[in-house]
Amino acid sequence: MTPGLPLKTGDTCSFTKTVSESDVYLFAGITGDFSQVHTNEEFMKTTPYGTRIAHGILSLAISSTASTLIQVQQKAEIPSVSYGYDRLRFVKPIFFGDTLTARYTVTETDPASMKTFAKVEVFNQKGELCTVAQHILKFLPPA
């Protein structure tokens, strides 16, 4: 017997974190992406941004925490894995010191495939949308 999905349409969860300089440099070290956009303040002063910006994918990584927390919040008893992200866009830059809130909202469930689909939105402290995507979560039935 296959258990039902632990998440339902409308379930939502948020996670908030301030992005520090060390977060950006540690992320650069993990990924190997030391682009001057992220690491060269003097170069970035010559751009429309005027200062260094965080990796866009770092904001997506922060949103991944919300996908874990929603399962804790709903007391999910079956494991899951990320099946991927669709329609990912980095619509606004993230600056060092920005406080990001990742909001994860389940928009669709597919019990037959054991998947849920969620809207992922990452906002800065001004309420501006910085990152948006659709996340697919695949639940793993017991073997």
pLDDT digits (tens, 9 = 90+) for 126-138: 999 999 999 999 9
Question: Would you say 128 and 92 are in contact if contact means Cβ atoms under 8 Å apart?
Answer: yes
DSSP code for 53: B
Confidence (pTM):
0.93
pLDDT band at 2 (very low <50, low <70, confident <90, very high): very low
Task: Specify the DSSP class assigned to residue 47.
Answer: S
Q: Is the pLDDT of residue 3 over 70?
A: no
Domains and CATH numbers, the chain: 12-139 (3.10.129.10)
Give the C-alpha separation, 36 to 20, whole Å: 17
pLDDT at 141: 82
The pLDDT tens digits for 55-106 are 999 999 999 999 999 999 999 999 999 999 999 999 999 999 999 999 999 9
- What is the per-residue pLDDT for 1? 38
- Cα separation, 48 vs 45, in Å, equals 8
Q: Between the CA of residue 70 and those of 17, 52, 93, 118, what are the distances in Å?
A: 16, 32, 26, 11
Tell me which residue of 123, 120, 44, 127 sits closest to 82, measured CA to CA: 120
Q: How confident is the model over 32-64, as pLDDT tens digits? A: 999 999 999 999 999 999 999 999 999 999 999
Judge contact between 122 and 131, C-beta under 8 A: yes
Amino acid 41: pLDDT: 98
Sign of the four-CA dihedral 75, 5, 100, 62: positive
Q: What is the Cα–Cα distance from 83 to 136, expressed in whole angstroms?
A: 5
